[in-house]
Amino acid sequence: MTRRNFASRAAGPLLLGVPTLFLLALFVVPLASMVVLSFWRTENYHIVQDWNVGNYVTLATGGAYVTFLIRSLVMATVVSVVSVAVAWPVSYAIILYGGRYRLLFTLAFAVPFLTGEVLRVIALQGLLGPLGLINGVLMALGAAPLRFIMYTNVASAIGLVYLYLPIVVTVIYLSLLNFDARLIDAAKIFGASPLRAFFEVTWPLNLFGTLIGFALCFIPCLSATLAPRFLGGPNGTLYGMAMAQQFGESGTWALGAAMGVVLFLTSILAVLAIGMRVNLRRTGFTGFGRG
Amino acid sequence: MYITLDGVSRQYGSVWAIDRVTMGIARNEFVSLLGPSGSGKTTLLRIIAGLERPSQGRVLIDGVDVTELPPHKRGVAMVFQEFLLFPHRTVWENLAFPLRMLKLPAAEIEERVRWVVGILSLGGLEKRYPNQLSGGQQQRVALGRGLVGRPKALLLDEPLANLDRELRQEMEVEIRRHQTALGIPFIYVTHNQEEALSMSDRIAVVRRGRIEDFAARTEIYDRPKTAFIAQFVGRSNRFEGTADAGGNRLATRCGARLALPAPGLTPGSPALAFIKNEKLRLDAAGTGAASGPNRIACTVKDVILRGAYADYILAFGERELNASRPRSERSFLAGEPVLASFAPGDIDVFDEKGEQAA
């Protein structure tokens, strides 16, 4: 075997192997340890290694954990739908009218990322809170303050949309950027009105990108901690927030680990549920190669 | 006329991409818009389609002023250079698309798609997606999608530019056959003169947003109206020279003397002449007078075999001449001295503005 031949043979395993090791070390191992921990117990801030399913029983029956999970699912769904609904016209407008400033517009959406999540949530608290900008101005004008944005689930939802909208805009923008807009011309020539052309061509061909945007918003929303904590009210506890408490104040790490496993499975199920409904061919996906 | 463009202009910024174009196209007619890239021919097609609005002028289709109508209300169809098939739809669904938009009953859609699958020999490919087809197959689907809705006119924007030569020639014959069978006008945009010549009834030569000439294909080829057309259509030998005192002879810069069929040049003025490669007759040197007008003694530099004919590259002093002769004639070898000659009627002469002079 020649040297070059060997190099080209080694390239495949090497290029695939390194990411595999990376995934194993940083993703699979921590996750596995989390699963193991979820079948142990914590007592007085100590981990007790006796195998049991008590944590899962607690999650299924005790307290408000099921409520938190359902509330989180509803919250994540609403936030993701709103984000997609806002991101679509914004991305579309950037593609259509952005001209040479397209990239600049897209980057501008990422600017809030530069400040960090805590700061962004605090800033929003300053906007929505009882003494915040909106209600402060309203009260100064002698009007009644808007109660539904003060420490409520609506406030949490606004916060989450604010946090994840840039991601959704970026993903949908990239999808539209790869979309051949001349297909719209073709649809129009063959008798489709502009609205019809959108639903026949533009929407299905960007559905895949839209769903990725949806998932990239939905999944972090499920485990969101900061926004509900600072913006949500007494009825605003979300699953992610409750989970964070297990690792913090309560010190019930094993229960927290079990919550993490449930969250992980829920996210996987959500992604699968979306994925099963999508026929990639119907989104113009061409990654199958020819034939 | 079935399709009429009346003083159509299109302005981009300060540039007139289309400048006062007026032309009429009959039902049953195959018309080519022939021009170099950037000449405005595609813009003209998009204006007829409604994808682009004229800044001035009117577009009429079948007697109706459609200038203000959006593309989906014009009833025309189009075949694009990049095919633009819907990638998320099968061949069958792509073909059914125009019919669904017409809201035809399912049975009729089925029948018409079957018809178009038949005439374009797409049988067996109905369930494939566009990216599973070869370039030629995609082209046929694009053509089928254009024909299936029985449009008022079919607009073709360089539809064969992405196909290889052999396939292109096959498709030329096929496209022409469908046009004849369907009896609707085809407006065909191309920069390829061979395509335009092989299919069209009439050719409009487009240059800088204007129609240089719009005439029968034989007219365009045999009697070019301007120097631009003579240069662009067919392959020719170009001569620059000065008219003599009688206005019917041309002394070229390269040393040849051309006798024109009729006087028409201003004596002493500069002029351009073109002689098509196939009009240059070749004889062995020494047969007849070597000097005199319309006779050029030169040497064969190279011979390029094209099958039925041969292209000769001839050396005449500093410059090269090109002659194209059938293989049935006597052939010459590289290095052989030959006498090139031509008839006065085969010279296309233009004055310095490029207008026809004789």
Task: Note whether A290 contacts B132, CB cutoff 8 Å.
Answer: yes
The predicted pLDDT at position B261 comes to 80
Task: Note whether B86 contacts A282, CB cutoff 8 Å.
Answer: no
Q: Is residue A87 in some structural domain?
A: yes
Task: Note whether A186 contacts B49, CB cutoff 8 Å.
Answer: no
The predicted pLDDT at position B117 comes to 95
B52-74 pLDDT, tens per residue?
999 999 999 999 999 999 999 99
Residue A142 has pLDDT above 60, yes or no: yes
Lowest-confidence pick of A222-236, B136-150, B178-192 = A222-236
A53-68 pLDDT, tens per residue?
889 998 988 778 999 9
The more confident residue out of A115 and B19 is B19
Q: Which of B88, B90, B112 to mutate to test the interface with A (most CBs of A within 10 A)?
A: B88
Residues in chain B with CB shorter than 8 Å from the CB of A192 are 72, 101
Residue A120 has pLDDT above 70, yes or no: yes
Residues in chain A with CB shorter than 8 Å from the CB of B129 are 281
Residue B149 has pLDDT above 80, yes or no: yes
Q: What is the average pLDDT value for chain B, to the nearest integer?
A: 92
The predicted pLDDT at position B53 comes to 93
Mean pLDDT computed over B191-208: 94
Domains assigned to chain B: 3-227 (3.40.50.300), 235-351 (2.40.50.100)
Q: Is residue A36 in some structural domain?
A: no
Q: Is residue A255 in some structural domain?
A: yes
ipTM rounded to 2 decimals: 0.86
The predicted pLDDT at position B288 comes to 67
CB B27 within 8 A of CB B176: no
**Residue B324 structure tokens:** 């194209």
Residue type at B312? Y
Taking the C-alpha atoms of residue B12 and residue A48, their distance in angstroms, rounded to an integer, is 77
Task: Note whether A188 contacts B51, CB cutoff 8 Å.
Answer: yes
With cut-offs at 50, 70 and 90, classify the pLDDT of residue A290: very low
**A204 → closest Cβ in B72, B88, B132:** B88
A152-164 pLDDT, tens per residue?
888 899 999 999 9
**Residue B77 structure tokens:** 């169809």
With cut-offs at 50, 70 and 90, classify the pLDDT of residue B224: very high
Taking the C-alpha atoms of residue A100 and residue A129, their distance in angstroms, rounded to an integer, is 39
Residue A1 has pLDDT above 70, yes or no: no
A218-274 pLDDT, tens per residue?
999 998 888 888 888 777 788 888 898 888 888 889 999 999 999 999 999 988 988
- Strand-pairing partners, residue B296, are B340
CA atoms in the 13 A half-sphere facing the CB of A12: 4
CB B241 within 8 A of CB B251: yes
The predicted pLDDT at position B289 comes to 65
Long-range contacts of B103-110, Cβ-Cβ distance < 8 Å, separation of 24 or more = none
Taking the C-alpha atoms of residue B318 and residue B337, their distance in angstroms, rounded to an integer, is 15
CB A191 within 8 A of CB B149: yes
Task: Note whether B80 contacts A281, CB cutoff 8 Å.
Answer: no
Residue A286 has pLDDT above 80, yes or no: no
**B131 → closest Cβ in A188, A190, A290:** A290
Residue A175: partners with Cβ closer than 8 Å, 6 or more residues away? A91, A206, A208, A209, A210, A212, A213
With cut-offs at 50, 70 and 90, classify the pLDDT of residue A210: very high
Residue B132 has pLDDT above 80, yes or no: yes
The predicted pLDDT at position A226 comes to 85
With cut-offs at 50, 70 and 90, classify the pLDDT of residue B92: very high
The count of structural domains within chain A is 1
User: What are the start-end ranges of the E strands in B73-176?
Assistant: 77-79, 154-157
Which H or E run contains B202?
A: strand B202-207
Q: Is residue A246 in some structural domain?
A: yes
CATH number at residue A200: 1.10.3720.10
Task: Note whether B97 contacts A190, CB cutoff 8 Å.
Answer: yes
Residue type at B94? N
Nearest CA in chain A to B76: A189
The predicted pLDDT at position B204 comes to 97
Q: Is residue A19 in some structural domain?
A: no
The predicted pLDDT at position B290 comes to 62
Q: For residue A92, which of A167, A164, A175 has the smallest C-alpha distance?
A: A175
B28-45 pLDDT, tens per residue?
999 999 999 989 999 999
The predicted pLDDT at position B223 comes to 92
pTM over 0.90: no
**B77 → closest Cβ in A183, A190, A281:** A190
Q: Is residue A147 in some structural domain?
A: yes
Distance from CA of B130 to the nearest CA of A (A): 9
Interface of chain A toward chain B, CB-CB under 8 angstroms: 180, 182-183, 185-194, 196-197, 200-201, 204-205, 281-284, 286, 290-291
The predicted pLDDT at position A291 comes to 40
B5-19 pLDDT, tens per residue?
999 999 998 899 999
Mean pLDDT computed over A181-206: 95
Residues in chain B with CB shorter than 8 Å from the CB of A291 are 132
Q: Is residue A40 in some structural domain?
A: no
The predicted pLDDT at position A100 comes to 86
Residue type at A42? T
Task: Note whether A281 contacts B88, CB cutoff 8 Å.
Answer: yes
Give backbone dihedrals phi and psi of B220, rounded to 5 degrees, phi first: -60, -40
Q: For residue B5, which of B76, B67, B94 has the smallest C-alpha distance?
A: B67
Q: Which of A189, A201, A278, A285 to mutate to test the interface with B (most CBs of B within 10 A)?
A: A189
The predicted pLDDT at position B354 comes to 75
Interface of chain B toward chain A, CB-CB under 8 angstroms: 49-51, 70-72, 76-78, 80, 82, 84, 86-88, 97-98, 101-102, 129, 131-132, 145, 149
Mean pLDDT computed over B70-96: 95
CA A122 to chain centre: 20
CB A283 within 8 A of CB A204: yes
Q: Is residue A29 in some structural domain?
A: no
Is B310 strand, coil or helix?
strand
Q: What is the average pLDDT value for chain A, to the nearest integer?
A: 87
Residues in chain A with CB shorter than 8 Å from the CB of B50 are 188
Domain residue limits at A97: 51-283
The predicted pLDDT at position B358 comes to 56
The predicted pLDDT at position A288 comes to 61
Mean pLDDT computed over A70-86: 95
B305-346 pLDDT, tens per residue?
998 999 999 999 889 999 999 999 988 999 999 999 999 889
- Strand-pairing partners, residue A267, are none
- Strand-pairing partners, residue B302, are B313
Task: Note whether A290 contacts B97, CB cutoff 8 Å.
Answer: no
CA B61 to chain centre: 23
Distance from CA of A65 to the nearest CA of B (A): 43
Task: Note whether B71 contacts A189, CB cutoff 8 Å.
Answer: yes
Residues in chain B with CB shorter than 8 Å from the CB of A200 are 86, 97
Counting residues of chain B whose pLDDT is more than 70, the rounded percentage is: 98
**A186 → closest Cβ in B80, B102, B131:** B80
Mean pLDDT computed over B99-127: 95
The predicted pLDDT at position A2 comes to 61
In three state form, how does the secondary structure of chain A look? CCHHHHHHHHHHHHHHHHHHHHHHHHHHHHHHHHHHHHCCEEECCEEECCCCCHHHHHHHHCCCHHHHHHHHHHHHHHHHHHHHHHHHHHHHHHHHHCHHHHHHHHHHHHHHHHHCHHHHHHHHHHHHCCCCHHHHHHHHCCCCCCHHHCCCHHHHHHHHHHHHHHHHHHHHHHHHHCCCCHHHHHHHHCCCCHHHHHHHHHHHHCHHHHHHHHHHHHHHHHCCCHHHHHHCCCCCCCHHHHHHHHHCCCCCHHHHHHHHHHHHHHHHHHHHHHHHHCCHHHHCCCCCCCC
